[in-house]
Chains A and B, each alone.
Chain A
Amino acid sequence: MTGAQILFLVCAGLILGSAVMVVTARNLMHAAFWLIAALFGVAVVYAILQAGFMAMIQVVIYIGAIAIMFIFADMLTRRDVRESRAQIGRNWPVAVLLGLLILAGLTALILAQPGVGRVAPALPSGLDPVAALGKALVSPDAYVLPFEVASVLLLSALVGAVYLAFLKKQ
């Protein structure tokens, strides 16, 4: 058991524990804060994977924007709607069953694959992952099309969100 493995297991425990709290917490505000803990754990996992850029934008976008939007929405909706009634629907046994089935199926599938026990190859020397990612996102023979589609999606989401939440003046 090496240091990296211990760090990974601690992070995985944090992520999964927080994730379970997210889906079971009664108080939605607590669920949002547990989500932040889980997202932070994922950022650390990216750092272990030597994807520093991903770790940073995980914190900037997920914690700095998305989680805070959730907190904002929590504050905007009334508390009695959120807390006074059962938070888990009547069909929760079905959900548990489905979740466990998919978990078991995918786990069996993963473990049956050849080569999943491999360890990471060394990063090619002279590779700057941030620069390489930047080039990959804008070069025509790589991922410029998905990147542009994503930016159009963001623009339409922006317009759509403003339109939906806009308070029409009487």
Chain B
Amino acid sequence: MSIPLSWYLLLSVALFCVGLFGVLSRRNAIAILLSVELMLNAVNINLVAFWRYLDPARMAGQAFAVIVFAVAAAEVAVGLALIIAVYRRRKTVVADEIDLMKW
């Protein structure tokens, strides 16, 4: 295990920023959710790396990574259900066009 901790953190930061770019720039709602998944994965890499490098005997990092998994699964289930419900009514998945509540 000759990899310094900073490598993991830098990978995580880069992945997070790619995901952020996707969330801010993609027009398709499904693609925005895909980018959110990338950001959540970046967080998870961080958590697991900290578990391994700081205190492997206490499972804090892995335990919270498991909880992030649960959050990600819940987010995808509800998010995709929302997108499909909106698609049925408005026949679009483009985030800009879902503007019924916009004044």
Chain A residues within CB distance 8 Å of chain B: 2, 4-5, 8, 12, 15-16, 19-20, 22-23, 28, 31-32, 35, 38-39, 42, 45-46, 48-51, 53-54, 57-58, 61-62, 65-66, 69-70, 72-74, 76-78, 81-82, 85-89, 91-92, 94-96, 98-100, 102-103, 106-107, 110-111, 115-121, 123-124, 127, 129, 132-133, 136-137, 142-143, 146-147, 150-151, 153-154, 156-158, 160-162, 164-165, 167
Contact = CB atoms under 8 A, between A and B. Distances in A.
B77 A136 contact: no
Name the 4 nearest CB pairs between A and B, nearest first: A23-B22, A157-B74, A95-B24, A164-B81
Contact of B77 (A12, A74, A161): A161
A142 B63 contact: yes
Contact of A118 (B5, B38, B63): B5
Contact of B72 (A28, A62, A121, A158): A62
A54 B17 CA distance: 23
12 contacts: A23-B35, A23-B38, A28-B31, A39-B37, A45-B48, A57-B66, A72-B80, A95-B25, A111-B6, A118-B4, A137-B59, A157-B78
B52 A116 contact: no
A161 to B, nearest CB: 4
